[in-house]
């Protein structure tokens, strides 16, 4: 627990606080019924947050908005935009952004499954070529009616399969998505939880 968090807890203050970080990520589940702006539905928006040092002055944050690309060949994400903020603008921007999108921010408990859904979307054609038994397990991992633990068990089975039969697909999963699941910002994802 950070010093300011301890202070707020000790005094019973319920104030949303945004923590500064060197790198972080956040996933937003897009609503298929109110989508506009492009000619296709994109299931998730992926935010990458970076702190950029500046040896000659104050550093700044770069926040990139990315969309997964279905069957991406040369690249797997489309950069929708990048915004740069100085350290004193970062909190205001993210506070407002999280408030505006609070209904669609993926909870930390579901961040691995959200990353998995993006991966399946990106490698859609690869999954179509796989044996039927693997597709059945895949559908179980994506079925939101299943419990989180059941979905995670199905994910682990596919992970093991990729480890044995498709190291290239596994590399994409680990190096392009799973690493960002590990950097998922619980602080931002829960900022307006229950509000």
Digit-coded pLDDT (tens) for 105-153: 999 999 999 999 999 999 999 999 999 999 999 999 999 999 999 999 9
Number of helices and strands (H, E) in the chain? 9, 4
Helix (H, G, I), strand (E, B) or coil at 164: helix
Q: Which domain holds residue 24?
A: 18-106
CB-based contact 50:66 (threshold 8 Å):
no
Helix (H, G, I), strand (E, B) or coil at 55: coil
User: What's the domain count of the chain?
Assistant: 2
Determine, yes or no, domain membership for 183: no
Q: Tokens standing for 78?
A: 């489309």
Q: Is residue 195 over pLDDT 90? A: no
Q: Is residue 1 over pLDDT 70? A: no
Q: What is the mean pLDDT of the chain?
A: 88
Determine, yes or no, domain membership for 158: yes
User: Is 100 in the same domain as 115?
Assistant: no
Determine, yes or no, domain membership for 193: no
User: Is 98 in the same domain as 28?
Assistant: yes
E strand segments, 30-150:
44-52, 60-68, 77-86
User: Is 142 in the same domain as 97?
Assistant: no
Determine, yes or no, domain membership for 191: no
Determine, yes or no, domain membership for 145: yes
- Find the CATH number of the domain harbouring 70: 3.10.450
Q: Is residue 40 over pLDDT 70? A: no
User: Is 95 in the same domain as 121?
Assistant: no
């Amino acid at each position: 627990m950070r010093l300011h968090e301890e202070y707020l807890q000790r005094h019973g203050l319920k104030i949303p606080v945004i923590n500064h970080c060197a790198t972080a990520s956040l996933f937003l589940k897009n609503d298929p019924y109110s989508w506009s702006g492009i000619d296709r539905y994109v299931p998730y928006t992926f935010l990458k947050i970076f702190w950029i040092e500046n040896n000659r002055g104050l550093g700044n944050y770069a926040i990139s908005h990315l969309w997964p690309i279905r069957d991406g060949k040369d690249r797997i994400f489309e950069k929708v935009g990048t915004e740069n903020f100085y350290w004193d603008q970062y909190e205001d921007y993210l506070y407002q952004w999280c408030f505006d999108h609070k209904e669609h921010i993926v909870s930390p408990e579901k961040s691995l499954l959200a990353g998995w859904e993006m991966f399946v979307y990106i490698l859609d054609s690869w999954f179509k070529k796989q044996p039927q038994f693997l597709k059945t397990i895949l559908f179980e991992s994506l079925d939101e009616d299943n419990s989180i633990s059941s979905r995670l068990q199905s994910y682990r089975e596919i992970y093991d399969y990729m480890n044995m039969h498709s190291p290239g697909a596994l590399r994409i999963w680990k190096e392009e998505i799973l690493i960002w699941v590990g950097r998922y910002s619980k602080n931002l994802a829960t900022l307006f939880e229950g509000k």
